[in-house]
């Protein structure tokens, strides 16, 4: 499976917000500069993330974006699905199924893989991603034990 560019940019963008959790909002410009992300795509992606209730825009002179919830409560699956819709490994796993082969022998295999992928991404929080990336220093988002 390969993530779409939008899903990858969404995860990378919210990880910047995770690093700054509990501090001042982060501007799109700063996010783009820090992670070398294309601004024109990030604008749409952040609109999707805002609609999903995962990030919050802050208006004004010191405005920008921040996480809408604690990074321990936001999963990578939620971020991906906010920009892509429900995750589906292949056509067999779309809801409703788009495959017309009734007795497909591989469908149960795809279903198990789909379930495992959703479970893993659904358990992985933004805080865990940040801690794993930071390595042994265990950088945690600010304002969290």
* pLDDT tens digits, one per residue of 32-41: 998 888 899 9
How far is Cα 118 from Cα 89, in angstroms, rounded to an integer? 10
pLDDT in tens, 104-140: 788 788 888 889 999 999 999 999 999 886 665 444 5
What domains appear along the chain, each with residue ranges and CATH number?
A: 5-85+125-137 (1.10.10.10)
Phi, psi (degrees; rounded to nearest 5) at 88: -140, 125
DSSP assignment of 34-81: HHT--HHHHHHHHHHHHHTTSEEEE-STT-EEEESS-TTS-BHHHHHH
Report pLDDT digits (tens) over 2-15.
788 999 999 999 99
What pLDDT shows up at residue 145? 47
Report phi then psi at 139, rounded to 5. -65, 115
Q: In this structure, what is the dihedral angle of CA atoms 79, 82, 84, 85, given to the nearest 10 degrees?
A: 120
Q: What distance in Å separates the CA atoms of residue 124 and residue 114, rounded to the nearest whole number?
A: 16
Write out pLDDT tens, residues 64-92.
Answer: 999 999 999 999 999 999 999 888 777 66
pTM: 0.83
């Amino acid at each position: 499976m390969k993530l779409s560019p939008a899903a990858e940019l969404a995860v990378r963008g919210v990880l910047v917000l995770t690093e700054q959790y509990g501090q001042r909002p982060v501007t799109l410009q700063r996010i783009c500069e820090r992670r070398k992300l294309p601004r024109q795509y990030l604008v749409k992606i952040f609109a999707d993330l805002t609609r999903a209730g995962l990030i919050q825009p802050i208006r004004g002179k010191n405005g920008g974006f921040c996480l809408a919830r604690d990074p321990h409560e936001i999963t990578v699956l939620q971020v991906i699905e906010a920009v892509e819709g429900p995750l589906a490994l292949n056509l067999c796993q779309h809801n409703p199924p788009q495959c017309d082969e009734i007795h497909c022998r591989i469908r149960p295999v795809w279903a198990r893989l789909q379930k495992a992928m959703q479970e893993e991404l659904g358990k992985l929080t933004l805080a865990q991603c940040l801690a794993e990336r930071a390595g042994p220093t265990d950088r945690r988002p600010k304002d969290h034990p």
